[in-house]
Amino acid sequence: MLTVRGLQKAFGARRVLRGLDLSVTDGEVVLLQGENGAGKSTLLRILATLDRADSGEAEVDGFPLGDGVEVRSRIGFIGHRPGFYGELSGRENLALWSRLHQLPEHGTNIDAILERVGLKSFSNDRTGIYSRGMLQRLALARAALHRPTTLLLDEPFAALDGDGRELLRTLIAEWRADNRAVLVVAHGSRLAADRTLVLADGVVA
Amino acid sequence: MSLLVALVRKELRVELRSLQGTVAAAMLVLALLLLLRFTLTNDEIAQARLAPAILWSVLLFAGLGLLTHTALREGDRGTGEMLRLAPLPRATLFLGAWAGNLLLLSGLTLLAFGFYILLFENSFGPAWPSALAILLLSAVGVSAAGTLTTQAAAPLPGAWMLGTLLAIPLLLFTVVEASLRAGRALEPRSRLVVVEQTSNGGGGSIWPLATLVGVAQVARGHGLALHMDGARLLNAAVASGTAACDFADPVDSVWLDLSKGLGCPVGAVLAGSDAFIREAWRWKHRLGGAMRQAGILAAAGSWALTHHVDRLAEDHDNARSFAQRIGSIEGVTILNPEVETNLVFFDVAGTGQSSKDVTARLRERGVWIGANGPTRMRAVTHLGVGKPAVDEAGELLSELLAR
């Protein structure tokens, strides 16, 4: 579950978030939309503890963002950059992620999730040769690997082909059924969300 | 611990598979060492004390460049951000980066040391394992400071150089400490033992011939040459009854002052083997020591050696007489009561006066006795000061120090 109260963030003189309130309950998919530069990505980065808000509060499953380790263990995040080591294979990149989350028996789980995102036959190839769409599929696998309770997905449909888009919609539906909170930033995704919110002038309209 | 292992393994795998940072750093090390090899002369290279300076400067620049590369790589690819999304304390991430950098830097150090031995020969001698161990230990500090500053600088403009520049002040303590330790382990090999005859600091005392022969044996046993600073060798010869040539026999070279007790205004003699003296002439000229019409000075020296040697005994008698006189002054302690030759060391602490003041007041009255400590003084008798003058100096001192 995700709750945000009075979140503010400015970059120099430009105020991006102006006391934003938001909540996503367990088992809910919220689609967040807004014009370019509205602050959608900034909000997701703050919730993922990658950036700090100037003021306001936010909690993930009751843990404030200041409790970074607890919050990060509950979050699955897809951002603008895939963030994979090109010298490592897809499997090795996920194995590293699994170890950083101290997941047990990571091997089996990794194989299963690689198969799920359609990368099993590429799992031993270095990610340096992956296409952008393949990297996005791998990012999906990474976001789901540690079974987070809250998913923050910033333009997750980007670069995905038709199958990939369909896969993502299915995954989101499964997460919803699995009682997880999902906050998605996307344009024209034809995503079946429980709520669609629009971010404008630094607040949710 | 397993988290650290995972982070370090990742760092090594990424670097070993791409070799981007290590190859560039290794090439920089090689280029810098080659540059220094052709810049320095063979004589300079033979000085072991230059070795730490060469290795330090090369490793600091190449090593910090390597660490900057690893930090920037994480930033450019967004992998650093991915690591920050993991549920780890930031300190663990830093430790992981530091440990990975430490291993990379240790590898670079081994490589640089190998290059150094190849290009500069082994100026460390048998101490090379200690030298290598010190360098590897210092990599701990370099990688810690380097990781801290390069990660802090990575998001900033000019990060490529900024991280390195920021790290250098942080590393000063590490470098200075390690250099001091290196100095102990890598100090230049001793080549020469010098014996001062007579010993100034020892109160003009004489090295007995038997002791001198013993010192010579030990020196030879360690492959060391033996030189006698015999500025007052003839004082020793006259006082002990041992011929100067006997004192000179165990040593390889001797220096003898014609001034001091012998009374010449200037001049000294260096004696040794033919080859040694030929080399000494070369060095004298090389250091600007060419001198025209020096025969005039040599004549004075020749006169002194003929006429002023035996009379050194008078100086010794005068010194003993002076010591006896001033030893009776209340508050004055004679530091070398045996007065073997022409030096009298005494302490005026008991008089409540400082040696500096006493020296100044003596000088006003025409007597020069040096201060060589806050309350320590040294009187020297010589050709220019006869018995009456020595007695007068003793009386004057007694008068000045009287309470």
What are A146-177's pLDDT values in tens digits? 999 999 999 999 888 989 999 999 999 999 99
Q: Is B268 left (phi over 0), alpha (psi -120 to 50) or beta?
A: beta
Distance CA B210, CA A163 (A): 100
What does the pLDDT average to over A125-141? 94
Distance CA A174, CA A76 (A): 14
CB A95 within 8 A of CB A110: yes
CB–CB contact A100 B6 (8 Å): yes
Please report residues of A whose CB lies closer than 8 A to that of B82: 83-84, 97, 142
CB–CB contact A97 B86 (8 Å): yes
A49 touches chain B (CB under 8 A): yes
Interface of A with B in 143-202 (CB under 8 A): none
Q: How many residues does chain A have?
A: 205
Between A72, A81, A85, which is nearest B87 by CB? Answer: A72
CB–CB contact B86 A100 (8 Å): yes
Phi first, then psi: give them for residue A57, nearest 5 degrees: -130, 150
Distance CA A94, CA A100 (A): 10
**pLDDT for the residue A7:** 92
**pLDDT for the residue B179:** 56
For the residues of B9-69, what is the DSSP string, one character each? HHHHHHHHHH-HHHHHHHHHHHHHHHHHHHHS-HHHHH-TTHHHHHHHHHHHHHHHHHHHH
Distance CA B328, CA B322 (A): 10
> B103 vs B63, B77, B99, B134, CA distance in Å?
11, 22, 6, 15
Residue B364 CB burial class (10 angstroms; 0-12, 13-18, ≥19): exposed
CB–CB contact B79 A75 (8 Å): no
Q: How many CB atoms lie within 10 A of CB A179?
A: 12
Q: Which residues of chain B have pLDDT under 50?
A: none
According to DSSP, the residues that pair with A58 across neighbouring strands are A4
Which chain A residue has the Cα nearest residue B79? A83
Residues of B with CB under 8 A from a CB of A: 2-3, 6-7, 10, 13-14, 17-18, 77-79, 81-90
A129 touches chain B (CB under 8 A): no
CB–CB contact B14 A81 (8 Å): no
A168: nearest Cα among A205, A116, A204: A116
Please report residues of A whose CB lies closer than 8 A to that of B3: 99-100, 102
Between B6, B79, B88, which is nearest A69 by CB? Answer: B88
Distance CA B289, CA B294 (A): 11
Cα torsion A58, A59, A64, A67 to 10°: value is -120
Residue B40 CB burial class (10 angstroms; 0-12, 13-18, ≥19): middle
Between A81, A88, A101, which is nearest B78 by CB? Answer: A81
Between A48, A50, A99, which is nearest B2 by CB? Answer: A99
Residues 6 or more apart whose CB falls under 8 angstroms from that of B128 comprise B117, B122
Please report residues of B whose CB lies closer than 8 A to that of A69: 87-89
Please report residues of A whose CB lies closer than 8 A to that of B13: 85, 87-88, 92
CA of A72 vs chain B CAs: smallest distance (Å): 5
CB–CB contact A92 B18 (8 Å): no
CB B23 within 8 A of CB B62: no
A203 touches chain B (CB under 8 A): no
Residues 6 or more apart whose CB falls under 8 angstroms from that of B292 comprise none
Residues 6 or more apart whose CB falls under 8 angstroms from that of B308 comprise B261, B262, B263, B383
Please report residues of B whose CB lies closer than 8 A to that of A72: 85-88
Residue carrying the six token digits 């002038």: A201
Which chain B residue has the Cα nearest residue A70? B87
**pLDDT for the residue B173:** 59
CB–CB contact B87 A83 (8 Å): no
> B131 vs B84, B168, B189, CA distance in Å?
38, 21, 14
Q: Is the peptide bond before A150 cis (omega within 30 degrees of 0)?
A: no
Between A69, A83, A126, which is nearest B79 by CB? Answer: A83
**pLDDT for the residue B226:** 92
> B276 vs A13, B219, B231, B254, B280, CA distance in Å?
80, 18, 19, 11, 6
The mean of the pLDDT values for chain A is 91
CB–CB contact B18 A96 (8 Å): no
Q: Say what the ipTM of the complex is.
A: 0.90
Put the strands of the sheet holding A75-78 in their side by side order. A75-78, A150-154, A181-185, A29-33, A195-200, A203-204
A46: nearest Cα among A8, A84, A103: A8
**pLDDT for the residue A181:** 95
A82 touches chain B (CB under 8 A): yes
Please report residues of B whose CB lies closer than 8 A to that of A77: 85
**pLDDT for the residue B106:** 94
For the residues of A96-165, what is the DSSP string, one character each? HHHHHTT-TTHHHHHHHHHHHTT-GGGTTSBGGG--HHHHHHHHHHHHHHT--SEEEEESTTTT--HHHH
Which chain B residue has the Cα nearest residue A69? B87
A130 touches chain B (CB under 8 A): no
CA of B180 vs chain A CAs: smallest distance (Å): 41
What does the pLDDT average to over A116-129? 93
A64 touches chain B (CB under 8 A): no
What are B161-179's pLDDT values in tens digits? 777 777 777 666 566 555 5
**Helices (DSSP H) in B195-269: which residue ranges?**
209-221, 233-240, 244-248
Beta strands in B245-325 (DSSP E): 253-257, 268-272
Distance CA B384, CA B382 (A): 6
Please report residues of B whose CB lies closer than 8 A to that of A85: 10, 13-14, 77, 79
List the domains of chain B with CATH numbers.
Answer: 2-179 (no CATH), 192-307 (3.40.640.10), 312-401 (3.90.1150.10)
Distance CA B343, CA B332 (A): 16
